Amino acid sequence: MVPETMQNVHTISTLATESSQGSPRNTELLFPFLDLRAQFTTIGDEVMQAVTRVMESQHFILGPEVQALESEIAAFVGVRSAVGCASGSDALLLALLVLNIGPGDEVITTPFTFVATAGAVARVGAKPVFVDIEPETFNIDPGIVGPAITERTRAIIPVHLFGLAADMDPILRLAAEHKLAVIEDAAQAIGARYKDARVGTLGTLGCFSFFPSKNLGGAGDGGMVTTNDLELADRLRIIRVHGSRKKYYSEMLGTNSRLDALQAAILRVKLPHLDSWARARQRNADRYRALCSERGLNEFLTLPSVPADRCHVYNQFTIRSTRRDQLQKFLRGRGFPAEIYYPHPLHLQPAFSYLGYKEGQFPHSEAASREALSLPIYPELKEDQQAQVVHAIAEFYGTAN
């Protein structure tokens, strides 16, 4: 899929090799934006044992490793069933397919997300209908979802962006009132909580990504759909193998979207560490808050807000600055990584121009695209690295002394 490919190029360039658009090469950065090698040094032996186990079995597609991962993810998230698939993008696609959403249907989501969210809606032939975000959380504003519902609306896709759950209760109330499905785009938020529940348990279906840069990342692409509805889970398992329960006999139209055993085996090594990695990310977030406040930066920056009923897992630590582009350039010039997610809201991208949206229609999403800047937050990040990043930000704003 083109959007995934583009994303891979972008994310992998920030991991290891070279950045684009005239910014310094990563070799000139003092440390990377995301250091997956640091994670591998802590679990490498176990990962290699898992890889060897799969190679010795020569069982590569679905099979016992995938089944085991599905049970372990279902238990971790707190749902009755989990169905592995080829990517987070496909998880969204399968969720829409299993609900028979297609031409003539509308699906509500936000324009401030990765393209896969609305892309999946368009791919099944339905119409993405955008609703603006809350500026504080970057997530869909439930207060303005209601007026966007029409007789064609079939589902709402709240995105738990950057690792923070969307405000689900009002969305679930609206969905119940209008008999709509809720598909959680939890690609960035595995482990995050809304009230006492983990994301992926709240809606009709939850969609996860195991892209390497996610909090639970594989050694390639992978995804999972979670649900408490066993009938939907059963149909998802068929749709991911061309609608076949029995070999060479298709009950319905499906696709090829399977998780492979190597990914599952590696993810099974990582899953038991996920909560402690999330705690390390939260500790790093607390450190940024303390350092920014010590440096007098609170009047210049907006730091991520976490409503009291939610537990943020910080796939990204995303600050806001009205001088974002200059700040990013300044940091990179001093050797510090900082990335922009997302520079263009979806309603202003050519792929969605056919929907007819205009600039100014979603002011909070547009402002977020101009102001959001993500700082490194991975679990192995060191205290002095964070102090250096914040010192450089303070130099930029003239509060360093």
Ligand X SMILES: Cc1ncc(COP(=O)(O)O)c(C=O)c1O
* Binding-site ranges for ligand X (CB under 6 A): 4, 7, 87-89, 113-114, 116-117, 159, 185, 187-188, 209, 211, 221, 223
Position with the least CB separation from ligand X: 88
- Return the number of the residue (140 or 319) whose C-beta is nearest ligand X: 140
Token code pair at residue 100: 């028979």
Q: How far is the CB of 120 from ligand X (least distance, A)?
A: 8
Pick 186 or 311: Cβ nearer ligand X:
186
- Residue positions counted in the chain: 401
What are the CA-CA distances from residue 165 to residues 122, 135, 198, 306, 362 (Å)? 24, 14, 9, 9, 20
Distance between CA atoms of 147 and 263, rounded to whole angstroms?
Answer: 42
Q: Which is nearer to ligand X, 209 or 369 (CB)?
A: 209
Complex with ligand X: residue 214 or 268, whichever CB lies closer: 214
The smaller minimum CB distance to ligand X, of residues 188 and 227, is found at 188
CB of 56 to ligand X, least distance (A): 28
CB of 17 to ligand X, least distance (A): 19
Sheet of 153-156, strand order: 81-85, 223-227, 205-209, 181-185, 153-156, 106-109, 127-130
Q: Which is nearer to ligand X, 187 or 262 (CB)?
A: 187
> 271 exposed, middle or buried (CB, 10 Å; 0-12, 13-18, 19+)?
middle
Alpha helix ranges (H) inside 109-200? 116-123, 168-178
CB 386, min distance to ligand X, A: 24
Strand pairing of 193-194 and 197-198? antiparallel
Minimal distance, residue 147 CB to ligand X, in Å = 24
Q: Which two tokens stand for residue 154?
A: 């079939």
Close Cβ partners of 206 (under 8 Å, ≥ 6 residues apart): 77, 79, 183, 184, 186, 199, 200, 225, 226, 227
| Closest CB 183 distance from ligand X, rounded Å | 11
Q: Label the pairing between strands 223-227 and 106-109.
A: unpaired
